[in-house]
Copies of this chain bind each other. A is one copy, B any other.
Amino acid sequence: MHHSTQQIHDFARLFFEKTGCRKEDANIIADVFLSAELRGIGSHGLIRIIDYYNLWKAGRLNTCPQISITRDTPSTAVVDADNAPGMLSGVYSMNKAIEKASACGTGWVSCNNSNHFGIAGYYAMMALEHDMIGICLTNANPLVAPTFSVSRMLGTNPIAVAVPAGSQPPFVADFATTPIARGKLEVAVKKGEKTLLGYVQDREGNPTDDPDILRKGGAMLPLGGSREYGSHKGYCLSAIVDIFSAVLSGAGFGPFVPPSVAYLPLPEDGNGKGTGHFFGAMRIDAFREKNDFKKAMDSWITTFRNAKSVEGQPEVLIPGDIEREQEQLNRQHGIKLIPAVINELNLIAVDTGIDMEL
Contacts and interface: CB of A to CB of B under 8 A. Distances in A.
Contacts of A150: 308-310
A292 B73 contact: no
A291 interface: no
A240 interface: yes
A173 B233 CA distance: 8
A332 interface: no
B243 A171 contact: yes
Contact of A310 (B149, B232, B234): B149
Contacts of A316: 146-149, 151
A136 interface: no
A175 interface: yes
A319 interface: yes
A253 B204 contact: no
A270 to B, nearest CB: 12
Chain A, interface residues (CB within 8 Å), range: 35 or more
A78 interface: yes
A315 to B, nearest CB: 7
Interface stretch (A1-9, A17-25, A295-303, A334-342): A295-303
Given A176-B233, A179-B224, 17 more contacts: A105-B108, A133-B248, A145-B307, A146-B307, A149-B310, A151-B308, A159-B236, A161-B236, A175-B233, A175-B236, A177-B233, A179-B233, A201-B310, A243-B300, A250-B292, A253-B296, A255-B303
Contacts of A282: 76, 108, 248
A288 B153 contact: no
A190 B144 CA distance: 37
A330 interface: no
Given A247-B297, A288-B249, A300-B243, A151 B78 contact: no
Interface in A20-78: 71-76, 78
Contact of A271 (B223, B224, B236, B299): B299
B78 A75 contact: no
A87 interface: no
A138 interface: no
A205 interface: yes
A293 to B, nearest CB: 7
Interface in A84-137: 104-106, 108, 110, 133
